[in-house]
């Protein structure tokens, strides 16, 4: 029996298998509103057999968008636009999920195919914020350091975005504390030079993440899971590392986080990564073993056999696929055939199965 295609129960929710669609920004929204593109993009992957389909990073504040074309959940109109997408994903047997995010100093930048670096305010850009007034790189916007009121507003924005996610029909939310975005910026000493209660040592640098977790868990139903994406290492000497990731993960489970989605990097242009297949899986394995929390593995997972081995060996509880599911939305069905498992097909497709 395939472990990859065994169900995963978390709280009152059950994933039909261990394949999750990783959140992938589409840079295709106007005023933060998802549209038909997002319905087809996410819906086709639910039809394709994934156990969980996670919508891309939805900004909790307008200034938290990566680009002007990012989706959001900072107002009720956006929640209403997400509702039919979540409903369609659920109707296909997948769990509808969404990632909540704030880009911090990596905000107000161009969509990848439109160039790189900062979007000028005259072209629709905005003033960005960060833990400290240091930019990500030379071509990136110069941030303003958040004060105590600004930090409180960020925490509240994550809380209200979670409430809107629930109203839209999502059954799982993930908090984005990875890839060099705002919560990760507070975690790393490379981007957080504060000397107040949100900086300095480990306790200060992790305070914002824990406050956001507490605020979201307070409004997110007890019956539904809460995940958190974490960059296990900055891949830069003196930055955030796997030891600190393990220590943070140990604090998350008692606060109601059900799984750590383990990625890496994105905090500094100085990072040096040897990106070979499965290169991030050891981080997921270590956090799972040492912190006693479920994990998700990501990064160059491209074959059914590789995904099966990750789950069967206990390296992670789920695998989150991105580029492979862009190439093939029906990868889960192909993987099931390769591994001798089955996924119920929509009635409209039965003649092909």
Tell me the C-alpha distance between 211 and 223, whole Å: 21
Question: Length of the chain, please?
Answer: 353
**pLDDT higher than 90, residue 274:** no
- Kindly report, residue by residue over 196-255, the tens digit of the pLDDT: 999 999 999 999 999 999 999 999 999 999 999 999 999 999 999 999 999 999 999 999
**pLDDT higher than 80, residue 353:** no
Report yes or no on 3 lying in a domain: no
pLDDT at 255: 97
- Kindly report, residue by residue over 304-331, the tens digit of the pLDDT: 999 999 999 999 999 999 999 999 999 9
- What is the residue range of 231's domain? 18-342
Cα–Cα distances in Å, from 241 out to 55, 150, 202, 339? 27, 27, 11, 35
Tell me the C-alpha distance between 316 and 289, whole Å: 9
Report yes or no on 7 lying in a domain: no
**pLDDT higher than 90, residue 260:** yes
- Which of 102-106, 120-124, 236-240 shows the lowest per-residue confidence on average (mean pLDDT)? 120-124
pLDDT at 238: 95
**pLDDT higher than 90, residue 115:** no
Residue 63 confidence class, pLDDT cut points 50, 70, 90: very high
What total of structural domains would you count in the chain?
A: 1
Tell me the C-alpha distance between 346 and 53, whole Å: 16
Work out the average pLDDT over 100-106. Answer: 98
Cα Rg of the chain (Å, integer): 19
Long-range contacts of 322-331 (CB under 8 A, 24+ apart): 322/21, 322/22, 322/24, 322/298, 325/21, 325/22, 325/45, 325/48, 325/50, 326/24, 328/48, 329/44, 329/45, 329/47, 329/48, 330/47, 330/48, 330/49, 331/19, 331/48, 331/49
pLDDT at 351: 87
Q: What is the pTM of this model?
A: 0.96
DSSP single-letter state for residue 33: B
Tell me the C-alpha distance between 314 and 85, whole Å: 32
Report yes or no on 347 lying in a domain: no
Candidates 27, 136, 140, 181; catalytic one: 181
Report yes or no on 179 lying in a domain: yes
Report yes or no on 261 lying in a domain: yes
Q: Read off φ and ψ for residue 8, nearest 5 degrees.
A: -125, 120
Report yes or no on 163 lying in a domain: yes
pLDDT at 45: 97
Tell me the C-alpha distance between 87 and 245, whole Å: 34
pLDDT at 212: 98
Tell me the C-alpha distance between 165 and 15, whole Å: 19
Report yes or no on 223 lying in a domain: yes
140 is a catalytic site residue:
no
Q: What percent of the chain has pLDDT over 70?
A: 100
Tell me the C-alpha distance between 256 and 311, whole Å: 23
Helices (DSSP H) in 92-224: which residue ranges?
148-168, 182-187, 202-205, 207-219
Residue 146 confidence class, pLDDT cut points 50, 70, 90: very high
Tell me the C-alpha distance between 347 and 204, whole Å: 53
> Looking at residue 137, which CATH number applies to its domain?
3.20.20.70
pLDDT at 116: 80
Work out the average pLDDT over 157-167. Answer: 98
Report yes or no on 6 lying in a domain: no
Q: What percent of the chain has pLDDT over 90?
A: 90
> Strands 8-10 and 13-15, how do they pair?
antiparallel
Of the candidates 102, 215, 99, the one whose C-alpha atom is nearest the C-alpha of residue 155 is 215
CB 141 within 8 A of CB 118: yes
pLDDT at 345: 86
pLDDT at 344: 87
Residue 149 confidence class, pLDDT cut points 50, 70, 90: very high
């Amino acid at each position: 029996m395939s472990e990859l295609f065994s169900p995963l129960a978390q709280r009152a929710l059950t994933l039909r298998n261990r394949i999750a669609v990783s959140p992938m920004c589409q840079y295709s929204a106007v005023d933060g509103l998802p549209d038909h593109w997002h319905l087809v993009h996410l819906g086709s992957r639910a039809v394709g057999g994934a156990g969980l389909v996670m919508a891309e990073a939805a900004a909790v504040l307008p200034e938290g968008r990566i680009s002007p074309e990012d989706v959001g959940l900072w107002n009720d109109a956006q929640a209403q636009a997400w509702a039919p997408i979540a409903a369609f994903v659920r109707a296909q047997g997948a769990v509808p999920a969404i990632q909540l995010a704030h880009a911090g100093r990596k905000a107000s930048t161009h969509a990848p195919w439109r160039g790189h670096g900062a979007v000028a305010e005259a072209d629709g850009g905005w003033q960005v914020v960060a833990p400290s007034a240091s930019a990500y790189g030379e071509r990136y916007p110069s941030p303003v350091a958040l004060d105590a009121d600004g930090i409180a507003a960020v925490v509240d924005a994550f809380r209200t975005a979670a409430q809107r996610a629930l109203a839209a029909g999502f059954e799982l939310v993930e908090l984005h504390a990875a890839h060099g975005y705002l919560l990760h910026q507070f975690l790393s000493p490379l981007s957080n030079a504060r000397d107040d209660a949100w900086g300095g040592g480990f306790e200060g640098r992790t305070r914002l993440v824990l406050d956001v977790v507490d605020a979201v868990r307070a409004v997110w139903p007890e019956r539904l899971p809460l995940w958190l994406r974490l960059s296990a290492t900055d891949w830069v000497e003196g930055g955030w590392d796997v030891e600190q990731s393990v220590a943070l993960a140990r604090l998350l489970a008692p606060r109601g986080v059900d799984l750590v989605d383990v990625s890496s990097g994105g905090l500094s242009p100085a990072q040096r990564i040897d990106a070979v297949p499965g290169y991030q899986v050891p981080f997921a394995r270590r956090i799972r073993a040492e912190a006693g929390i479920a994990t998700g593995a990501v990064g160059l997972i491209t074959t059914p056999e590789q995904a099966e081995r990750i789950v069967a060996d206990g390296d992670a509880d789920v695998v989150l696929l991105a580029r492979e599911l862009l190439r093939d939305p029906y990868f889960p069905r192909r993987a099931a055939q390769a591994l001798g498992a089955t996924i119920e097909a929509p009635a409209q497709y039965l003649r092909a199965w």
